[in-house]
Amino acid sequence: MEELDESRFSSKALEDFKLIDMAIGGDDKAYAKLLTRYRRPVFHMILKMVRNIDDAEDLTMESFSKAFRSLHKFKKDFTFSTWLFRIATNNTIDHIRKRKLHTLSIDNTYTDDDGQSVGMDVQDKNNPDPQEEAIRAQKEEIIQEFVNMLPGKYQKLVRLRYFHELSYEEIAEEIEAPLGTVKAQLHRARELMFDLIKNKKDHL
């Protein structure tokens, strides 16, 4: 294995690398640390792109879920933040395309913690990336762990939204509830999950 050139990276990036190694080794607390560290900047980047808080919160969770599922494929050729923001950006662009939203923000770039420019890789949807298709087919154990901690009424909503990838409207029809109720309860469920993860980190 090629030795890591630590001089290329900031102390924060090097700490991220250690957390990634721990997470791949099965340490749930390392996942929680990475989530807590980057949740807010990822959310704000996505919010600038979609300009909708509910969508930004959904897309933030989706981005972390995708990143954690493919963490074992991460290569230390660049920082974790660069890789994570690229995943979040591409996922958000997919969302924008699906919703046929018009925004100029996707033409921008994001500068990560080490000053590296993170471009917006726009993939051809007619030729989906096999790795991305494989990621979609997998279930996320770390997210599942925290879902199981939620009250029963929230567990079903989260699974329908993030594991079965149903829309708000489809969930409302599935559970026979008003659309507004579904949105409000999913918002609460997300907050509870992030609180659980943060509390786990705080009790290291």
DSSP string, 168-187: HHHHHHHHT--HHHHHHHHH
The type of residue at 35 is L
The rounded distance, in Å, linking the Cα atoms of 39 and 156 is: 23
Write out the two tokens for 101: 């939203």
With a CB cutoff of 8 Å and minimum separation 6, the contacts of 9 are 17, 79, 114
165: three-class secondary structure by DSSP: coil
* pLDDT, mean of residues 74-92: 92
Please, what is the average pLDDT of the chain? Answer: 77
* pLDDT, mean of residues 138-158: 72
Please give the pLDDT value at position 96: 84
Residue 199 burial (10 A CB sphere; 0-12, 13-18, 19+) = exposed
Please give the pLDDT value at position 113: 55
Indicate the CATH number for domain 9-128: 1.10.1740.10
- Highest-confidence segment of 69-78, 80-89, 110-119, 144-153: 80-89
Write out the two tokens for 139: 């279930």
Min mean pLDDT across 9-13, 41-45, 55-59 is at: 55-59
Please give the pLDDT value at position 15: 95
List, for residues 161-200, the tens digit of each pLDDT value: 877 778 889 999 999 999 999 988 888 888 877 777 666 5
DSSP assignment of 24-60 equals HTT-HHHHHHHHHHHHHHHHHHHHHHH--HHHHHHHH
Write out the two tokens for 64: 């972390």
Write out the two tokens for 43: 């959310």
The rounded distance, in Å, linking the Cα atoms of 1 and 65 is: 27
What is the phi-psi region of residue 173: left when phi exceeds 0, alpha when psi lies from -120 to 50, beta otherwise?
Answer: alpha
Write out the two tokens for 173: 């029809």
| Residue 57 phi, psi (nearest 5) | -65, -45
1: three-class secondary structure by DSSP: coil
Higher pLDDT, 95 or 104: 95
* pLDDT, mean of residues 51-68: 86
Please give the pLDDT value at position 154: 85
Q: Are 68 and 2 in contact (CB under 8 A)?
A: no
Please give the pLDDT value at position 95: 84
- Highest-confidence segment of 57-71, 74-88, 158-172, 187-201: 74-88
Please give the pLDDT value at position 131: 45
Please give the pLDDT value at position 190: 82
Q: Kindly state the percentage of the chain with pLDDT values over 90.
A: 22
**Is residue 142 very low, low, confident or very high in pLDDT (cuts 50, 70, 90)?**
low
* The CATH fold of domain 139-204: Arc Repressor Mutant, subunit A (1.10.10)
